[in-house]
Structure 1
Amino acid sequence: MKKLNISSFLIIFIFLQINALPAIRYVKAGNPTPLAPYTSWATAADSIWKALRISVSGDTVFVGTGSYTVFDTLPQGVALIGSGVDSCIFNLHPQSTVVKFSLVVYDSSVVSDIQFRGFNYYDGCAVGGHNNDNTILKNNMFTKCSIAVAAQGIKVINNVFKINQYGISDRLSSIVRNEIITGNTFFNCTYSISLRGSKTYIRNNYFYYDGDRFPIFILDYGGGQPEITNNAFVLGRPNMFIDNLIIARNGDQIQNNVFISPTSADEPFVYTEFPIISKNNHFEGGLIPHYLAYQAISPQLVIKNNNYWNTRSKYYPSYNNPYKHTELQKDPMFVDSVDFHLQKYSPLIDRGDSSVLDKDGSISDIGVYGGVFGESYVYIDKAPRAPAGLTVTLSADTVLLKWKKNTESDIRNYYIYTDSTTSVTTDTNRYLTSANDTLLKIPKSYFTWGSAYFRIAAIDSGYNKSQGSIAVGVVLTGMEEGEEIAAERYRLYQNYPNPYGGTGKEKTKISYELKKRGYVKLRVYNVVGEELAVLVNGEREAGYYEEEFGSPEIRKGLEDHILTSGIYIYKLEIRDSETGHPVFNESKKLLYVK
């Protein structure tokens, strides 16, 4: 028998090592020159199946731009990486069902940067599997699937679930594994997450629904005692059909979440038939925070250090909560209606359960950014909201002003402004006086006008001034003496100063008025229609607002644009927050002179 020399052994060893190395393979839709083993874009496979069938644990498969119909199995330990959710589309196979998924995944695999697109809301299941320890789904999008993800022991990170019947479900298996669901967005999914027995950590997710079905954000079938922490649960409009937003089971922990509902109904944010732990949460809107059915009220039930703002109650039925002294009913003072960071003087700061600490080591804040899975951030000191409910009456020789008290915890007093027209501004030229209360009496003889109009601004402890209230006036002389003039309307005012530019006039103010809460867009264009600035793009309460425009507001991507002398256009668009319908659209011209 011929013996192998050392050189032969070395060649065999090198050959085995090369073949043992993880491979990188490529898939490109419509590639005319596919050539196995598909290790370059030039020789990329033209289908997912071709690349996966020769892949082994440790391999990575990159999928290029294109649309693919998928009915495949991802081998254990293989990473499948798309080119991005906007450009890499996996269409679900028509035969995909609850037991036949378009993509079956196994342990230690990775799926990322792919959009899984169903063919309708009731059919088609995207990703599933039963042995999924250490499998990761991240940065994907799932749209219009019957079930987007059905797997156990999986990590679901930074994905978007949009208009699915089920977002994530592990109810199809009795296998118990730990799951992590974090950083995801669930948009208009009827059942965002349904759980059966796995221990699940649901953290830092955003749940939103404004559709016409009965949404359930989290449905716990029992057994896993999930930890539901640092999530935002938001209903997007009033007059919705509501079910139970969270159906909890024995021992579920619901902590440091925010619940928001503009809808009023005899339905709960959290429904449970068994004792749970609910603490450090903020509940806001016209639902019942806790519906305690059957065996829920027991010594094991813990409801403490929650904040309830404009809710129907704290719990139903009412019970003698031993922790009621820890519960709050305060304006949370969020940064705004979509940013749930707390402002500097929020009453929710350090008001959580003392056994829970923030990342900076202090007692947990109430809300989504408190606790160990929250954030360390700087509390900003924003101006208060504009006062609401201003009325003006003439009684004998006295003008009487009343308005609603601001609910922020740091209100110092109010400034009152007056003028003979509805365009009364909140600057020093129109300042009348200040008041510590929400009632002010002014002698009629003070005014020399036929009518007087007023706006109120709130001042906080840091001397930040709110926008002005809606202008309201009263007739002081003539046949209609004493008649209140409500100037509640939508209005865009001419900018001031106009023209602007040069020393002392580097910026101009653009003022507008809302008669009710609405979604506001205020933009500036040049005369050829190129957008230069977005001054406002978001929800605003009813009131009077002033925005400044100047070179620093030139939007990203046009920073090198230099304003030249000439005419510019500013445009105000308003949509009703309840209906979404446009209610106001107007443009005006401003003149910039260097």
Structure 2
Amino acid sequence: KGFNIIVSNSREASGIYSGYGNSIIEFNKIINTHTSIYISDSNTFASENILINVEIGIQLFNSNSNVKNNQITNVKRGILIDAFTGNYYPIVEENIISCELRGVGVGFNSRPTIRNNIIFLNGDGAIGYQGGGSDSVWVYNNLVVASDGLDFLDGFTNTTVPTIEFNNFVIGEVETGIIVWNFNHIKNNVVLNGFKGIHKGGSGNDIIIKYNNAWNNNINYKSFIPDSTNISVDPMVVNEDSLDFHLQMFSPLIDAGDPDILDLDGTRSDIGLYGGPFGERYPYLDLAPKPPRNLTAVVDSQYINLSWNKNTEADFNSYNLFRDTTANFTADSTTFVVNLTDTFYVQIIPPGIDAFYYKLTAVDNQGNESKPSEELPVIITSINEYPTTVSDYRLYQNYPNPFNPSTKIAYKLKERGYVKLYVYDIKGELVEVLVNEVQEAGYHEVEFVGQLGKSTNLSSGVYIYQIMVKNGNNIPVFSDMKKMLLLK
């Protein structure tokens, strides 16, 4: 208890070994080892340990241990579980793992319960949970967060053993959120913003995939036709940028889970991270919609044609459009133009007007109004070559700002070009290269996480982000920079 173990000359060394008995391992800090904590033939309570820069965080063998509330950072493999027989029931719960290869891996025979863990995927090929040849597994209420810009990430990779998997949440650029095989029961889960949501690999009649939500993936459901209990809707979480996945008051996931699984308050289970018996009791907040995105204009003869992306909240009602002839105006009753339910608006250009500036807000059924969109300038020229798309190069202010731990940076490209997007600290030192590739014309977004490399959190303060764009002839055509504030 309370040891500080640092290995400076060998990554093959181990930190703490527990064997043949009952013990408590807690409040230790272990750095630069191969296996930080190895537990064999022992029923150990391992809690509140901090493990940094290790090959394996915690390894269990023939153990009924409870591994709880540990922070495992910059690790190849977070927690590994094996046994000779199926007579072992370890519990892995409430750990935070930042891994390059595996968050939690299950080998042979044991019957673990894995619940309420947070797993960050920070290396190519990383997997949040990987099944093996265990006798059976229960996987509940775990969050897997995939870092942007990495390849071949997976959320939950199951195998053909009895696996009960419900109320898990996968977000980010995963190759597959959940891979399903024979003997798997997959219920009440959410997969958001990946390539494939839920992929059925097995073909047995013992597969159950029900009451899940796969949303905003390139392919929401793969290799099977989802029944009516599996949906694809905006989950309406409180704030995915700050990893707050509690549901808002009018989320379609409330009381939409398996009716045989109950929430802590005794009602039908919610789909998502905090539903089910291992979830949370919490109030549903009635929040405003997200600000409208990608407000764009096309000037055609005597008209300005505005368009934007549609909001997806279940309680969305309409848009309020605002306009002025001066930049940086305030969206209020003096600049209000019209309330709309469509995602387009046609403005007749009156004589004598050189420019219009537009902002847009979203309104829900309760009257909550979002923050305004980014301001769109429309400069009206005497050029008679129409239509002219007013979507010139632009770098937007990040949102949210201030932020913690992540924020989104959006920008527009007038034409195809080579884009570099950097983040610097206030001293001018490079923090991260967010984009370094050729991209097509249009609206783009990238996420910035307040983290240096794979493990070191950035300190609070002002950061600078800068965009530089070259055209097809390698000629610089646009550059801009803005400030953003990280608050912790």
The alignment's TM-score, normalised by the length of structure 1, stands at 0.65
Taking the aligned partners of 1:587 and 1:145, their CA distance within structure 2 comes to 33
Matched, 1:144 2:53: yes
SS in 1 for 2:54: coil
Q: 1:303 — aligned with what?
A: 209
Matched, 1:426 2:331: yes
Aligned match of 2:72 in 138, 141, 161? Answer: 161
Q: 1:463 — aligned with what?
A: 367
- 8 A Cα contact 1:415 1:459, kept in partner: yes
Taking the aligned partners of 2:193 and 2:257, their CA distance within structure 1 comes to 20
Taking the aligned partners of 2:383 and 2:55, their CA distance within structure 1 comes to 68
- 8 A Cα contact 1:473 1:484, kept in partner: no
Q: 2:222 — aligned with what?
A: 316
Q: AA paired with 2:407?
A: E
Which is further off, 414-423 or 281-290?
281-290
Instruction: Give how far 1:299 is off.
Output: 1.9
Taking the aligned partners of 2:283 and 2:80, their CA distance within structure 1 comes to 37
Highest RCO, 1 vs 2 (Cα 8 Å, sep ≥ 6):
2
Q: AA paired with 2:197?
A: P
- 8 A Cα contact 2:153 2:173, kept in partner: no
Matched, 1:392 2:307: no
Q: 2:443 — aligned with what?
A: none
Question: Which aligned pairs between 1:234-313 and structure 2 lie closer than 5 A?
Answer: 234-242=145-153, 245-263=156-174, 267-293=175-201, 296-313=202-219
- 8 A Cα contact 2:84 2:110, kept in partner: no
Aligned match of 1:182 in 85, 93, 97? Answer: 93
Matched, 1:117 2:31: yes
Q: 1:404 to 1:414 in 2, by over 3 A?
A: same
Instruction: Give how far 1:229 is off.
Output: 0.5
- 8 A Cα contact 1:473 1:486, kept in partner: no
Q: 1:428 to 1:536 in 2, by over 3 A?
A: farther
SS in 1 for 2:265: coil
Q: 1:587 to 1:406 in 2, by over 3 A?
A: closer
Instruction: Give how far 1:93 is off.
Output: 9.1
Instruction: Give how far 1:361 is off.
Output: 1.1
Q: AA paired with 2:42?
A: N
Q: 2:453 — aligned with what?
A: none
Instruction: Give how far 1:178 is off.
Output: 0.9
Cα deviations across residues 467-502 of structure 1 (Å, max 9, x unaligned)? 222222434453478645447644xxxxxxxxxxxx
Q: AA paired with 1:194?
A: G
Taking the aligned partners of 1:343 and 1:586, their CA distance within structure 2 comes to 30
Aligned match of 2:268 in 357, 363, 366? Answer: 363
Aligned match of 2:465 in 582, 587, 593? Answer: 582
SS in 2 for 1:427: coil
Taking the aligned partners of 2:79 and 2:129, their CA distance within structure 1 comes to 10
Cα deviations across residues 307-355 of structure 1 (Å, max 9, x unaligned)? 0102233443235x5xx01111101111111111111111111110110
Q: 2:42 — aligned with what?
A: 132
Q: 1:110 to 1:142 in 2, by over 3 A?
A: same
Question: Which aligned pairs between 1:511-530 and structure 2 lie closer than 5 A?
Answer: 513-514=396-397, 518=398, 522=402
Q: 1:201 — aligned with what?
A: 113
- 8 A Cα contact 1:160 1:184, kept in partner: yes
Taking the aligned partners of 2:261 and 2:183, their CA distance within structure 1 comes to 20
Instruction: Give how far 1:180 is off.
Output: 0.8
- 8 A Cα contact 2:155 2:170, kept in partner: no
Q: 2:415 — aligned with what?
A: none
Taking the aligned partners of 1:272 and 1:163, their CA distance within structure 2 comes to 28
Count the aligned residue pairs: 421
Taking the aligned partners of 1:537 and 1:91, their CA distance within structure 2 comes to 28
Structure with bigger helix share is 1
Matched, 1:325 2:235: no
Aligned match of 1:379 in 277, 284, 290? Answer: 284
Identical-residue share of aligned pairs (%): 25
- 8 A Cα contact 1:472 1:487, kept in partner: no
Matched, 1:345 2:250: yes
Q: AA paired with 1:301?
A: I
Taking the aligned partners of 1:519 and 1:473, their CA distance within structure 2 comes to 19
Which is further off, 457-466 or 300-309?
457-466
Taking the aligned partners of 1:536 and 1:477, their CA distance within structure 2 comes to 42
Taking the aligned partners of 1:113 and 1:102, their CA distance within structure 2 comes to 12
Q: AA paired with 2:161?
A: N
Q: 1:170 — aligned with what?
A: 81
The alignment's TM-score, normalised by the length of structure 2, stands at 0.78
Q: AA paired with 1:382?
A: L
Instruction: Give how far 1:166 is off.
Output: 2.2
SS in 2 for 1:366: coil
Instruction: Give how far 1:396 is off.
Output: 4.2
- 8 A Cα contact 1:520 1:574, kept in partner: no
Instruction: Give how far 1:542 is off.
Output: 4.3
* Structure 1 residues not aligned, in runs of 5+: 1-80, 83-87, 491-512, 523-534, 544-572, 589-594
Q: 1:405 — aligned with what?
A: 310
Structure with bigger strand share is 2
Q: AA paired with 1:274?
A: N
Q: 1:355 to 1:416 in 2, by over 3 A?
A: same
Instruction: Give how far 1:288 is off.
Output: 2.2
Instruction: Give how far 1:92 is off.
Output: 4.9
